Amino acid sequence: MSATAEAWNPELYQSSHSFVWQYGRDLLALLDAKPGERILDVGCGTGQLTAEAGLCGAEVVGIDSSAEMIASARHNFPHLHFEVADAAALPYAREFDAVLSNATLHWVRDQQSALASIAKALKPGGRFVFEMGGHGNLHHALAAGCAALSSLDVPAPQNHIPWFFPSIGEYAPLLESHGLRVNFAVLFDRPTALEGERGFASWIEMFGGFATASVATDDREELVRRWEDFARPMLFHDGVWTLDHTRLRMLAANR
């Protein structure tokens, strides 16, 4: 799930954010892996979806830019192959029948290089199945985060947001410019319940480093408190925090 060299906490990811790969299971039907195929999982995280993709008898390889995530994936699934690699510079050429990617591409800073790298890794006719944050993703959560940062005198807080959340109309031409023909595309809302009353604070701890890193260490606890306060009217109902996720899911084929 990481495509850039961010610092990740695999234990927190597995214990409190299992929704990332659990929702990603829906991609496996679209992937439709066959026995003997070679499948590359780009942004494999701690390896759960990689392992499930291989249950049909496919040969799977998982890559992630986070050494911590790869170490955890190797521990979880020692019989599978995992490597530390950058999605924008994959070391493969015409090797895979399919590339799978879940909740990763919105982290990628160099989209052009990543898509060129993925297209190069595919065999002719190979397929690329992915899901990422789509246009409007986390609108309320990020508005609250920006308000919290502004209240602590952080200028232009929106400039700290690291993610790219495209629409179908934005992303399809990028895929096609790298020889990937779009066969399926959908943009949809998927409200995502978080675990426990501290669920949102835990999400900030896992994914909100871009914000906490922009304030002094002594202000980070206060930032989280203010972020929760700004988000609560929109995202906390009946004792449950629910993220306002919007996802972009696509299937493309290498020409």
The CATH number covering residue 176 comes to 3.40.50.150
**Rounded mean pLDDT, 154-169:** 97
**Rounded mean pLDDT, 87-91:** 96
pLDDT at residue 64 is higher than 80: yes
Cα distance between the two ends of the chain = 26
- The pLDDT score that the predictor gives to residue 131 is 96
Q: How many domains does the chain have?
A: 1
- The pLDDT score that the predictor gives to residue 21 is 58
Residue 84 within any structural domain of the chain: yes
Residue 206 within any structural domain of the chain: no
Residue 227 within any structural domain of the chain: no
Residue 93 within any structural domain of the chain: yes
150 φ/ψ sector (left φ>0, alpha ψ -120 to 50, else beta): alpha
**Rounded mean pLDDT, 150-167:** 97
Residue 224 within any structural domain of the chain: no
Residue 215 within any structural domain of the chain: no
Predicted model pTM:
0.90
Instruction: State the sign of the Cα–Cα–Cα–Cα dihedral 201, 218, 163, 52.
Output: negative
pLDDT at residue 1 is higher than 70: no
Spatial separation of the C-alpha atoms in residues 30 and 18, rounded to whole Å: 20
- 121 lies in which domain range? 10-137+163-194+245-254
- The pLDDT score that the predictor gives to residue 82 is 98
Q: For residue 27, what are its two tokens?
A: 């991609």
**Percentage of the chain exceeding pLDDT 90:** 88
**Rounded mean pLDDT, 11-31:** 68
Residue 143 within any structural domain of the chain: no
**Rounded mean pLDDT, 25-43:** 95
Q: Which of 231, 237, 243 is nearest to 194 (CA)?
A: 243
pLDDT at residue 191 is higher than 60: yes
pLDDT at residue 138 is higher than 60: yes
pLDDT at residue 80 is higher than 90: yes
What value does the mean pLDDT of the chain take?
92
Q: For residue 173, what are its two tokens?
A: 């031409």
DSSP code, position 56: T
pLDDT, one tens digit per residue, over 227-242 is: 999 999 999 999 999 9
pLDDT at residue 11 is higher than 70: no
